[in-house]
Amino acid sequence: MTEGASTPSYPLSSRNRVKRLHERGFYDHETVHRILDASMMCHVSYVIDGQPYCTPTFFWREGTKLYWHGSSASRMLRNQTEGERVCLTVAHLDSLVLARCGFNHSADYRAVMAFGSAYLVTDAEEKQRAVVAMVDRFFPDRTATLRPSNTQEIKATSFIAMEIEEASAKVRSKGVADDAEDYELPIYAERIPVRTVLGAPEPCSRLLDGVTRPATLDGYSEGRLLGDALRDAYFAEYPAG
Amino acid sequence: MTEGASTPSYPLSSRNRVKRLHERGFYDHETVHRILDASMMCHVSYVIDGQPYCTPTFFWREGTKLYWHGSSASRMLRNQTEGERVCLTVAHLDSLVLARCGFNHSADYRAVMAFGSAYLVTDAEEKQRAVVAMVDRFFPDRTATLRPSNTQEIKATSFIAMEIEEASAKVRSKGVADDAEDYELPIYAERIPVRTVLGAPEPCSRLLDGVTRPATLDGYSEGRLLGDALRDAYFAEYPAG
């Protein structure tokens, strides 16, 4: 995990400042973006009539902007011209931590909370770019090999975008950390690593004869960490980071 | 995935009804609880001064009630006597789905959104139960083997609870599903399974001589699905489900 001295950082505010265990907080683009880019799924929070919703959805990053599908979230934007406040969160669980007392039980994790104002993507050029990126950000150059999206499909889909105004990363990666005197106790403690990995790809049973897996998918191989595959795909599509 | 005919269901409302692709929606306790119990981490959404927050945190279920640590979420409850509206979401990613056109790219997943009013656990008996459950729900009977929690630790920790008023599960598990005519195209399509698995447990390097791993942790073995280990632990601690 970088300390962020060499990269730009997101500004601090009362919203994104990590208050509890602040030594776990990072605000630099590098740390924030690496955590985001290792995930395909995020959770987006928004408010409708005072009720908060937390919707899991697929998303991707383009610079300091985040994009996701509209679906139910688009309810909140349908009649909006101004942006609605949103919080988009990504969390990776890296281990379970079993300590010598209850309150030191914990987990290693990497998480990002990103804040901003969401808007419906209505600009035709931006929407067309999103139609491509929603596939190619995960599977580089794949769109060019697909049956092209038709007008009806594009019309039926809404994309939401958000410029990241503030963001914070929170990272714990120290395994067991007990109170000094508790190490003298005859109690078992351990760290159990947790990994999200890819299984063996399952080709569609209805492939036409002679259709084989393109080399662009080589990064998605059995046993690989999903986060590594997604990060490599990101850089293949956006070499500038 | 059960169809829920034999178990009670959560009531339907405009909040929890699955609107988009409603054939993916389930409301029965059995389906909702199995998805919740396969996770240690959830995302909780709440509102402070109109700004939604989406906080990843550890949680557990007790019947139709959900519990989690307070930390930053307790900000919203500090001066509240009435409950604050909350949405708690759990999502499992089961596969990446690469289809023959962009808009049929998808993923298999299991997700639950649960709605209710959160309250700070202040009742001493309920708080004491939470202190035990936050460990034993994941690692059965472990609390009895630990250095007991002291008054200061308990005082410094806030627990939030929520009775599930409404909940919905959304499940996709069909892999590649293309438009009928697209199957005639010479385009590669596949499903890539995604699994969250346990690594080899790493005993604390400072264990006292003769301290060994208790048999109650046997369910947390290398290569096992995290969701299976968590589900088994749940039933070991709460045999009634």
* Residue-level pLDDT at B4: 45
B103–chain A nearest CA distance, Å: 7
Q: What is the pLDDT of residues A57-88, one digit of tens each?
A: 999 999 999 999 876 556 666 655 568 889 99
| Nearest partner of B106 among B189, B34, B3, B188, judged by Cα | B189
Widest Cα–Cα separation across chain A: 68
Reported ipTM: the value is 0.93
Q: Hey, which residues does B54 pair with through a beta bridge?
A: B45
Counting Cα atoms < 13 Å in the Cβ hemisphere of A47 gives: 20
How does the average pLDDT of chain B come out, rounded?
91
Contacts of B91 in chain A (CB under 8 A): 41, 43, 56
Report the residue from A91, A153, A199 with minimal CB separation from B192. Answer: A199
* Residue-level pLDDT at B195: 98
* Residue-level pLDDT at A1: 45
A87–chain B nearest CA distance, Å: 6
**CA B132, CA B149: separation in Å to the nearest integer?**
9
Residue A227: φ, ψ to 5°: -60, -40
The verdict on B207 touching A (C-beta cutoff 8 Å) is: yes
Q: What is the pLDDT of residues A133-169, one digit of tens each?
A: 999 999 999 999 999 999 999 988 899 999 999 999 9
More confident residue, A90 or B16: A90
Query: What percent of chain B stands above pLDDT 90?
Result: 75
The verdict on B223 touching A (C-beta cutoff 8 Å) is: no
**CA B43, CA A240: separation in Å to the nearest integer?**
31
- DSSP per-residue string spanning A136-200: HTTSTT-GGGSBPPPHHHHHH--EEEEE-SEEEEEEE-------GGGGGS----EEEEEEEEE--
Widest Cα–Cα separation across chain B: 68
Asked if B87 and B167 touch (Cβ cutoff 8 Å), the reply is no
Report the residue from B40, B111, B186 with minimal CB separation from A56. Answer: B111
Report the residue from A142, A157, A197 with minimal CB separation from B195. Answer: A197
A92–chain B nearest CA distance, Å: 9
**CA B127, CA A148: separation in Å to the nearest integer?**
57
Kindly state the tokens that stand for A186: 């005859």
A217–chain B nearest CA distance, Å: 10
Q: Is A183 exposed, middle or buried (0-12, 13-18, 19+ CB in 10 A)?
A: middle
* Residue-level pLDDT at A95: 98
Cα-based distances in Å from A192 to A182, A209, B83, B133, B222:
20, 44, 36, 19, 9
The verdict on B109 touching A (C-beta cutoff 8 Å) is: yes
Q: Distance from CA of residue B112 to its chain's centroid?
A: 8
Look at residue A45 and tell me whether its pLDDT is greater than 80.
yes
- CA A39-A42-A46 angle, to 5 degrees, is 160
Instruction: Give the domain ranges of chain B.
Output: 22-195
Are B199 and A195 in contact (CB < 8 Å)? yes
Asked if B115 and B85 touch (Cβ cutoff 8 Å), the reply is yes
The verdict on A223 touching B (C-beta cutoff 8 Å) is: no
Q: Is A127 exposed, middle or buried (0-12, 13-18, 19+ CB in 10 A)?
A: middle
Could you write out the three-class secondary structure of chain B? CCCCCCCCECCCCCCCCCCCCHHHEECEHHHHHHHHHCCCEEEEEEEECCEEEEEEEEEEEECCEEEEECHHHHHHHCCCCCCEEEEEEEEEEEEEEECCEHHHCEEEEEEEEEEEEEEECCCHHHHHHHHHHHHHCCCCCCHHHCECCCHHHHHHCCEEEEECCEEEEEEECCCCCCCHHHHHCCCCCEEEEEEEEECCCEECCCCCCCCCCCHHHCCCCCCCEHHHHHHHHHHHHCCCC
β-strands A159-163, A65-69 pairing? antiparallel
| Nearest partner of A187 among B207, B153, B135, B219, judged by Cα | B207
**CA B90, CA B109: separation in Å to the nearest integer?**
11
Q: What is the pLDDT of residues B180-217, one digit of tens each?
A: 999 999 999 999 999 999 999 999 999 999 999 999 99
Q: What is the pLDDT of residues B77-99, one digit of tens each?
A: 665 556 889 999 999 999 999 99
B3 falls in which pLDDT band (50, 70, 90)? very low
The verdict on B1 touching A (C-beta cutoff 8 Å) is: no
Contacts of B54 in chain A (CB under 8 A): 43-45, 54, 87-89, 113
Domain covering B22-195, topology: Pnp Oxidase; Chain A (2.30.110)
* Block residue for tokens 């776990």: A24
**Which residues, 6+ apart, have CB-to-CB distance to B107 below 8 Å?**
A40, A41, A58, B93, B94, B95, B96, B97, B172
How many interface pairs between A and B have CB atoms less than 8 angstroms apart? Answer: 261
Mutate to test the interface with B, among A188, A196, A218 (most CBs of B within 10 A): A188
How does the average pLDDT of chain A come out, rounded?
91
Look at residue B2 and tell me whether its pLDDT is greater than 50.
no
